[in-house]
Structure 1
Amino acid sequence: MATSLQTSSGVMPLHESRLARPTTVPAVFRAAARLLSANGLHQGDLVPDYRTRTSFSAHSTRPLSIVAALMCAATGDPHLSSRLAGEAIAVLAQRLEVDDEAMESDLGHPWMAMHVDAWGDVEGRTVEAAVAVLAAAADDSEVSL
């Protein structure tokens, strides 16, 4: 019998326990890239069927927006943020341009998260592009440590 933990978006297997969570920003980027590779990139909201009206699978197993993937990598729940997820979102927001505009550095977390998701929501954006950006951010973050 597999042991599991309960989260707000469903049951989480023990191998995805908090003990196995990333502890650095580069590790969050790499874990989020793996989640997007496995689940797919969702555009327009954190996850499809956000209110679970038609799909009853755990939110962490559905396609994820980039912000949701970062939060899920850090906390196990795509709806739950943390200090580490916030740091990863802030770093990524500074790297991305939307409509040829960079993120203003003095804006707070909600604006940074919206900037990252705006980049991910561009028509034609692929999961491969999102994974590549996360991998590059992880590499750059490790170099700057």
Structure 2
Amino acid sequence: MRASLQTSRRVLPLHQSPQARPTTVSGVYRAAARLLAVNGLYKGDFVPDAFDREMDVPHFLRPMSIVAALKCVTTGDPHRTSLLADEAIAVLALRLEVDGEGPLLGGIFDLEAHVDAWGDVESRTTESAVAVLEGAADVSEVAA
């Protein structure tokens, strides 16, 4: 019986696990918070040297904007999006104010721009971005 348990057990390496990427909005926020805590918050673009003119470090290892982090944790690439990343961006944009204003509600690019504008505030730190993402994850879990 012991041999059948061992042979019937399926062992998957972490990189092939279906849970390697978040599957909920709150999971996306938590994963993005961890990614920013490790890589750092970048202001002004998705990642530094986005066109690789000076750097050869893979983009997912560079400091990145909040929007890029949300995309990266769902797709593995800070430039590719997914429906889950778009949902997380939309929900987060509605929680943030920039100069006392909410986002324009024209489409996903307006929502991305709003989240980026919040992250680009001069006094914004990596720690504050991580705290907002963790808070958004908590609220998303309560709402679910």
Band of TM-score, shorter chain: 0.7 to 0.9
Deviations 1:54-91 (A, max 9, x none): 11011000001000000001111000000000000000
Deviation string for 1:72-118 (max 9, x for gaps)?
011110000000000000000000000110124x3210000000000
Q: Which runs of 5+ in 2 are unaligned?
A: 1-12
User: Does structure 2 retain, via aligned residues, the 8 Å contact 1:18–1:75?
Assistant: no
SS of residue in 2 equivalent to 1:133: helix
**Partner residue, 2:113:** 114
Larger radius of gyration: 2
CA distance in 2, matches of 1:62, 1:136: 24
Q: Which runs of 5+ in 1 are unaligned?
A: 1-13
CA distance in 1, matches of 2:93, 2:85: 12
| Aligned equivalent of 1:98 | 98
Identity %: 60
Per the TM alignment, residue 23 of structure 1 is displaced from its structure 2 partner at its CA by 0.4
- C-alpha change, 1:15 and 1:78, in structure 2 (3 Å) is farther
SS at match of 1:98: coil
Match of 2:46, SS state, is coil
TM-score by length of 2: 0.87
Partner of 1:4: none
Aligned equivalents of 1:94 and 1:138: distance in 2? Answer: 14
Amino acid corresponding to residue 122 of structure 1 in structure 2:
V
CA contact (8 A) 1:16 1:76 kept: no
Change beyond 3 A, Cα 1:16–1:43: farther
Q: Secondary structure of 1:102's partner?
A: coil
Q: Which has the higher strand share?
A: 1
How many pairs are equivalent?
131
TM-score (norm 1): 0.87
Deviation, structure 1 residue 39: 0.2
Counterpart CA distance in 1 for 2:128 and 2:96 is 12
Q: CA RMSD of the aligned region, Å?
A: 1.4
Alignment partner, residue 49 of structure 2? 49
